[in-house]
Amino acid sequence: MKANICFVSESFDFSKEQESVALSIKASSELVEKYLKDDGFISFSKSNDFDEMAANELFQHPQHLDAGTIMGLLYDANMGKASTIAELDSEAVVALVDAAKPEYDGAWMSLYSSDSNNTLTTQLHRNIIDDSSLVKFCSGVLVNNPRTHGEYAKSFVQLYRNLIFLDYPGHPKNTTFDSIRKTEGGYQLFIQGITDCLTFMDQYEIIPHDSQNNLNNLNANLDFPVTPEGTGKNKRTIAALKRDFLINNVEYKNVNCEYHYKLERIDGANGKGTYFFNRIYFGFFNKIDPGNPQIAIAHIGEHL
């Protein structure tokens, strides 16, 4: 099951000034560029009346809008990738998104609104206004529509774009973060816990050069403990928890990924029941831009 973000007649307010309209369209274009990938589970679409509506709106507001400029933005290299849903107009799309199960053509539907004060659906979590709301909605799609461990891994990389995932096929030892299939107790029982963690990490603004405060913040906002490696670690253990990352064909060696999120209980256990030794190991990666570090995910699965 895919996640679909749809543009409808109310997605943009063409009565606003030129700069405001242009900025709102550019923001949506950036979302498409960031999250739409070939063969990915995130797609973008538009209702069958969207194009006509946009043209009519531009002709109705000729005094303050340059129609050529706005139309150029609406059909740029990114926005032009949104596919038209031939069978559904804006009203039908909204009704579908308002439904308990917003499924259409193999995807769960949501609505894009360029104005955070303009909610287009009664299902607030399906009202997409920015990166954060998109990530939360798509995470819900992953939780509610089971898939294979490999598909989850691929979807995580596409969705959590602010994170760095270990992907080094030629490495002699540690080639990937994906050990999801080895999750103790079965990975399907921990998807909510995994996505909750990745969702928060993806949107978290790291404090540069302050690992302890970052750990404290993560620990305070996530359901399970976030800790460094225990105090009894030795040199062998430190080396074992470092990883080499290959990013844009550049190797970054010995990234410290000792920090870990403890997936202790199955989803919905509320702190009760069997304790499991599952982990998400990560590090604070600042080798590209020290002033703008990212969280690097080294391992999702069993305890190392």
Distance (Å, whole) CA 293 – CA 163? 10
| Average confidence score pLDDT of the chain | 95
Same domain for 176 and 132, yes or no, is: no
Place of tokens 């831009």: 289
Distance CA 230, CA 144 (A): 35
Based on the domain organization, do 155 and 289 belong to the same domain?
yes
Distance, CA of 76 to CA of 13 (rounded, Å): 18
Q: How many other β-carbons are positioned within 10 Å of the β-carbon of residue 126? A: 25
Q: How many domains does the chain have?
A: 2
Q: Which of 144, 166, 183 is the last residue of a domain?
A: 144
Examine the domain organization and report whether 115 and 240 are in the same domain: no
Residue 40's pLDDT is 92
pLDDT at 78 over 90: yes
Residues 199 and 259 in one domain: yes
Instruction: State whether 234 and 248 are in the same domain.
Output: yes
Same domain, 159 and 298: yes
Q: Say if residues 137 and 41 touch (Cβ distance below 8 Å).
A: no
- The reply to whether 201 and 266 lie within a common domain is yes
Lowest mean pLDDT among 13-17, 148-152, 164-168: 13-17
User: Looking at the predicted structure, is the pLDDT value of residue 232 above 70?
Assistant: no
Q: Are residues 7 and 137 in the same domain?
A: yes
Cβ atoms of 298 and 263 within 8 Å: the answer is no
Q: Are residues 190 and 115 in the same domain?
A: no
pLDDT-derived band at 237 (thresholds 50, 70, 90) equals: low
Going from the C-alpha of 210 to that of each of 206, 207, 223, 281, 290, the distances in angstroms are 8, 6, 22, 18, 12
**Final residue of a domain: which of 144, 178, 198?**
144
- Residue at a domain's end among 112, 128, 144: 144
What tens digit of pLDDT does each residue of 183-212 get? Answer: 999 999 999 999 999 999 999 999 999 999
**Structural domain boundaries, residue 41:** 2-144
Place of tokens 């995807």: 107
Tokens 């430190």 found at: 238
Question: Kind of pairing, strands 42-47 and 83-85?
Answer: parallel
pLDDT in tens, 264-287: 999 999 889 999 999 999 999 999
| Tens-digit pLDDT profile for residues 16-38 | 999 999 999 999 999 999 999 98
226 has a pLDDT exceeding 60: yes
Q: How far apart are CA 101 and CA 108, in angstroms?
A: 8
Q: Residue 297: which of 259, 265, 264, 263 has the closest Cα? A: 259
Tally the C-alpha atoms within 13 A of residue 178's C-alpha that lie toward its C-beta.
16
pLDDT for position 240: 83
Do 98 and 8 sit in the same domain of this protein? Answer: yes
Dump the DSSP string for 149-188: HHHHHHHHHHH-TTSEE-B-TT-SS--BSB-GGG-TT-GG
**Residue 225 one-letter amino acid:** P
Across 247-260, average pLDDT: 96
User: Residues for the chain: how many in total?
Assistant: 304
Residue whose tokens read 């304790």: 275
Q: What is the CA radius of gyration of the chain?
A: 22
- CA 227 centroid distance within chain: 24
Of 27, 7, 30, residue with least CA distance to 112 = 7
pLDDT at 80 over 90: yes
251 & 164 share domain: yes
pTM: 0.94
pLDDT in tens, 257-267: 999 999 999 99
* pLDDT tens digits along 39-48: 899 999 999 9
Same domain, 159 and 219: yes
Cα–Cα distance for residue pair 199/221, rounded to 1 Å: 11
